[in-house]
Structure 1
Amino acid sequence: MESLKIALVSDWFFPSVGGIEYHIHDLATQLTHLGHDVHVITRSGTYPDENLPYEVHRFKGRITMNSFHVSIGTEMMKQINELYKKEHFDITHGHSIYSPMAVGVANLSAGIRGVPSIVTGHSLLGDSILNPVYIVLLRFSLRKVSSFIAVSNVVEKDMRSILGKSLGNREIYLIPNGIDIDFWKPSEDREEQKETLGLSGVVVITTSRLTKRKRIHVIPEIARRIKEEHGRGVTFLIIGDGPEKSNIERLIREYGVGDIVKLLGRQPRVKVREYLQVSDVYLSPTVYEAFGIAALEALACGVPVVANNHGGISEIVEHGRTGLVSNNDHELVQNLMSLITNEERRQEMGKNARKSVENHFSWEAVVPQILNAYEKTMDQADEEPFALYKLHQMLKRGITNASVFNL
């Protein structure tokens, strides 16, 4: 494929940190290394963009909601439109159908500038009494997006349900998140590193934002049950922060597991890797996960995963080979205990986990799929602009030139 000029767009990018933010950064870096000209378009924020291997364009909308990390405004879109006139991108790749900037720019790209757009669905709609309203708004706002990517089967199913008949002939490509296997990798000296971190025995780790939806609050009770059956030879590490922190701290005290459950708060990426590398099992109690990038990082570090058999995480964990998936919390505890008490099985699963990530989720495996989706989108995209934009061109340039699409 010839070198492409690619715009990656989302409200969610550095300095905020999370799965989408790092996904965009890693994808941009990989595409740049392959010779493509990558530009990230995102909201305003303070970050050393000049140190990144690709160009970053930041815009601030009239309405900025810092708690949601989003920015909205017509003036901002006018500025982005001018950027598109200047840069002449080949394709726009928005990240998250719930990102106002990603959706807005994807529409501007395909509906005004004549540049095909593709948007990745990274998350699920969820349960809300307002869902019927959300679905109407999403169908309307996504109408000019050329095609879509879903990071898991469960996300694809969710997107098809949301879009309904409005999807039409547009494609949804099933492409998982990628991971940097040179960064996320097993430790060369695991036991020494474990000792350096002040840990011993079996270490069970969870890395997650502390929200009700992630269900991290069930870990203190699980820890109590494990402690009653196994004693104090197991340590639970919880890395992350969020609105449920105080509730989890209360439950740790209530269940009397402060000696074996450690809340480590938010940690830098390098430190998260260090803790994963010395862990024996990764525990994911969520039942509503679109993909499970945190679990994928654990698998890449050679750590077997015990998770609930719901959502996208069950698509990356091979039951009995790279971890164990469970149908309910009781089974989750039983599966966790079976690995805690069987070191040989943990080690075998850990080796299988690393191989699985190398084969299916490395950027070397994922980027070609994304580039293929780009190519097909550019070949098949409907270049018909918005009707209002055609009317605008008619009024601006006259009836005789109304059919000329001014790029």
Structure 2
Amino acid sequence: MVVAVAAMRILHVTNSYLPRLGGIELHVRDLAERQRAAGDDVLVVTAERDPRGTASPGIVRIPTTPGAIGARPHLVGLMRQWRPDVVHAHLSVVSPFAWAALRAAAHDEGAARVATLHSMLPAHPGLVRHGLRRSGIGTDLAFAAVSRVAADRLAAALPPAVSVTVLPNGIDPAMWRVGHVPDPTFRILVVGRLAARKRPLVALDALSRLRGLAPDLRWQATFVGDGPQRRQLEDLIRRRDLADQVRTLGPQPRETIRHHLARTDVLLCPASLESFGIAALEARCAGVPIVAMAGSGVTEFVRHGSEGLLVSGDADLAPTLLYAADPRVADHLRATSTTTPTGLEWSVILERHAALHRAAMTAQGRGVLRCASRYARPSEARPVRRPRAPRSRHPAGAV
């Protein structure tokens, strides 16, 4: 017997969004589109301005100050008008707009609250605990993180009774499945924001050391992405006389990245605070061997010696790149990546989101959050609710 599951009205909240390119921005867009296709009513609200002024259905933009001062009245009005079942906030380390939305939703008895952490928090639970208190979002909501390592950092700062669900990003493997184009040149690709957190300068240091380790190795490296360290990176490329072997392309569309992956021998991921690594997951589906940091979220889908090579420190990056240049090693890693499912296909990830949303809605209806818990709490009296106004399908301000 097939049991019908009622559609949900989901409000995704994110500080940043397209046209800015990044992991959170692309994930929220892809997730919202697939949830709509599955029958849910989905709205995205963001503080990100669109300088193009492009009208996009299903998106509400609320421009605000960097600290989200003055955003609360707009968010409260939107929630009262649209009446979501779930308010799902997507958080980085500092997300004042998303925090404001979670605070606003706390006063709406009709909306469950879910927060997914997309960044790696500092390994200092006391500091994180203080930050959570300052955010004012409380702990009576469903917490999730995009990888086990990110979830463990968050869980360490939460009360013992509060669990953190691992809710990874999704992927369409078929979209990234490309045939490898052999080339006598060993080609290295770095994809990501050129900012300190992603450590592009560490990647360049590794490339400099690779040249010293293997002066006869014919190799080329390409950086795809943009950010505040781009100019410094390009200056260092010139100063280290690497311009013939290293180039920067700036941000590129997905189709162009697919084109590069087909000609790539290894994806270099130097970020030690990578909470997930969507670029690495895309490369993994393309069968490209990955060199990444052992303590990062890339370990959610890369096993050392199977789909990639994981290093414990920066000094190991250059020798590991040289090891990956061995055709026998590369063939093994590529074969394992292309024959082993990731388990992160969108059909799986959508169901994991739906399960967390349903659990949060059930817990909110009982007046107590027990999301992702194996143990039931004794039944409690159902809270008295104020009458709900009719829900609007087209909230004011949606563009």
Q: What TM-score do the two structures reach when normalised by structure 2?
A: 0.83
Q: Residue 103 of structure 2 corresponds to which residue in structure 1?
A: 107
Identity %: 27
Q: Residue 133 of structure 2 corresponds to which residue in structure 1?
A: 139
Q: Residue 330 of structure 2 corresponds to which residue in structure 1?
A: 346
1:166-194: CA deviations, max 9, x gaps? xx64431112111232432314x735xx8
Per the TM alignment, residue 383 of structure 1 is displaced from its structure 2 partner at its CA by 6.3
Per the TM alignment, residue 143 of structure 1 is displaced from its structure 2 partner at its CA by 0.6
Q: Residue 26 of structure 2 corresponds to which residue in structure 1?
A: 22
Per the TM alignment, residue 132 of structure 1 is displaced from its structure 2 partner at its CA by 5.8
Alpha-carbon contact 2:194-2:225 (below 8 Å) kept: yes
- Give the 3 Å change call, closer, same or farther, for CA 315–45 of structure 1 in structure 2: same
The answer to whether 1:186 aligns with 2:178 is yes
Alignment of structure 1 residues 245-284 onto 2, 5 Å? 245-284=230-269
Alpha-carbon contact 1:224-1:256 (below 8 Å) kept: no
Q: Distance in 2 between matches of 1:86 and 1:279?
A: 49
Per the TM alignment, residue 347 of structure 1 is displaced from its structure 2 partner at its CA by 3.0
Alpha-carbon contact 1:298-1:305 (below 8 Å) kept: yes
Per the TM alignment, residue 362 of structure 1 is displaced from its structure 2 partner at its CA by 1.6
Q: Distance in 2 between matches of 1:329 and 1:59?
A: 41
What amino acid is the match of 1:206? V
1:6-29: CA deviations, max 9, x gaps? 111111111211100000001001
Alpha-carbon contact 1:116-1:383 (below 8 Å) kept: no
Alignment of structure 1 residues 5-404 onto 2, 5 Å? 5-43=9-47, 45-46=49-50, 50=55, 55-61=58-64, 64-65=65-66, 72-74=68-70, 76-96=71-91, 98-126=94-122, 135-140=129-134, 141-143=136-138, 145-163=140-158, 165=159, 169-187=161-179, 190=181, 201-228=185-212, 229-231=214-216, 233-342=218-327, 344-356=328-340, 358-381=341-364
Alpha-carbon contact 2:190-2:269 (below 8 Å) kept: yes
**How many residues get paired?**
366
- Give the 3 Å change call, closer, same or farther, for CA 359–249 of structure 1 in structure 2: closer
Stretches (4+) displaced over 4 A? 47-52, 131-134, 382-385
Alpha-carbon contact 1:239-1:263 (below 8 Å) kept: yes
Q: What TM-score do the two structures reach when normalised by structure 1?
A: 0.81
**RMSD between superposed Cα atoms in Å:** 2.7
- Give the 3 Å change call, closer, same or farther, for CA 372–139 of structure 1 in structure 2: same
Tell me the SS of whatever aligns to 2:273.
coil
Larger RCO of the pair (alpha carbons < 8 Å, separation 6+): 2
Unaligned runs of 5+ in 2: 369-382, 389-399
Tell me the SS of whatever aligns to 2:252.
coil
Q: Residue 396 of structure 1 corresponds to which residue in structure 2?
A: none
- Give the 3 Å change call, closer, same or farther, for CA 73–281 of structure 1 in structure 2: same
Tell me the SS of whatever aligns to 2:175.
coil
What amino acid is the match of 2:36? T
When structure 1 is superposed on structure 2, of 265-274 and 25-34 the one drifting more is 265-274
Q: Which is helix-richer, 1 or 2?
A: 1
Per the TM alignment, residue 127 of structure 1 is displaced from its structure 2 partner at its CA by 7.5
